[in-house]
Homo-oligomer: A and B are copies of this chain.
Amino acid sequence: MAADTKDRLIDAALALFAERGFGQVTIQDIAKRAGANIAAVNYHFGDKARFHAEVIRTQLDRRSGPPPELADVPDDPAAALTAFVTWFLRRICGPANEAPLQHILMHEQVHPGESPVLDEIVERVMRPQHDRLAEVVAALLPSDASPDTIRRFTFSVISQCVSYKHAWPVMKRLHPELELDDTELAAIADHVSRLCLAGLAAERDRHA
């Protein structure tokens, strides 16, 4: 069964890439997990790089578009920002098998493969999320706020979230008792939202 093996390979790779990232996963790992032969990857996808791109592309096709939570509160920017932070933080800090795509993206972000796969990821997932968040941020800024200002605030929101994934090994050493369970994630989301909303309010005051 052709499609069967292909699908099992993609599923296995998805999980492993999300957990460890492209470079830390061997074809043997994937084949073993998928219950397939080592040569299956090269037969179906050509080589590892194209396979990697295909896995990501498949997942991009499956789920795309901006976060649903943001559509719920279109007329309350402050609530929308809080919703985004809560949603985003949970995705990237939760278990890798829950939102494999976001975890792969986090790996890609740090290990920009030279292939155009990162371009595709940015355009199809990150830019929609970023632009939607930028709209929310812009709605919380003076109407004459510069694009640079909007960008910096938007990055501030995202940065604080992604660091809890990227810099986790260091954070854990600095505060060994820290655990990213549901309550802590909620507290962090609350903190980040309030911090950014306060900063946005201060920026409004400056131009008043």
CB within 8 Å of B: which residues of A?
23, 109-110, 112, 118-119, 122, 126-127, 130, 148-149, 151-153, 155-156, 158-160, 162-164, 166-167, 169-171, 173-175, 178, 187-188, 191-192, 194-199, 201-203
Copies of this chain present in the complex amount to 2
Question: What are 8 residue pairs bridging A and B, where the CB atoms are less than 8 Å apart in the complex?
Answer: A109-B167, A109-B170, A110-B167, A126-B170, A151-B175, A162-B163, A163-B163, A195-B202
Minimum CB–CB distance from A70 to chain B (whole Å) comes to: 17
Chain B: CB-nearest residue to A205? B198
Chain B residues within an 8 Å CB radius of A151: 175, 178
CB-contact partner of A199 in B126, B171, B198, under 8 A: B198
Q: Are A166 and B122 in contact (CB under 8 A)?
A: no
Residues on B with beta carbons closer than 8 Å to the beta carbon of A166: 109-110, 162-163, 166-167
Query: Which residue of B23, B122, B159, B174 contacts A160 across the interface (Cβ within 8 Å)?
Result: B159
Q: Are B126 and A169 in contact (CB under 8 A)?
A: no
The answer to whether B158 touches A188, judged by C-beta atoms less than 8 angstroms apart, is: no
Q: Do B122 and A191 have beta carbons less than 8 Å apart? A: no
Q: Known: A156-B192, A163-B159, A163-B163. Is A174-B122 also a contact (CB below 8 A)?
A: yes
With a cutoff of 8 Å between Cβ atoms, the chain B residues found around residue A156 in the complex are 160, 191-192, 195
What's the Cα separation between A151 and B176 when bound, in Å? 12
Bound together, the chains give a CA A126 to CA B173 distance in angstroms of 10
Give complex CA distance A119, B176 in Å. Answer: 12
Closest 5 CB pairs of A and B: A195-B199, A159-B163, A198-B202, A112-B169, A152-B191
On whether A130 and B174 interact (CB within 8 A), knowing A156-B160, A191-B156, A199-B198, the answer reads yes
Question: B187 contacts A194, CB within 8 Å?
Answer: no
Q: How far is the CA of A159 from the CA of B93 in the complex (A)?
A: 15
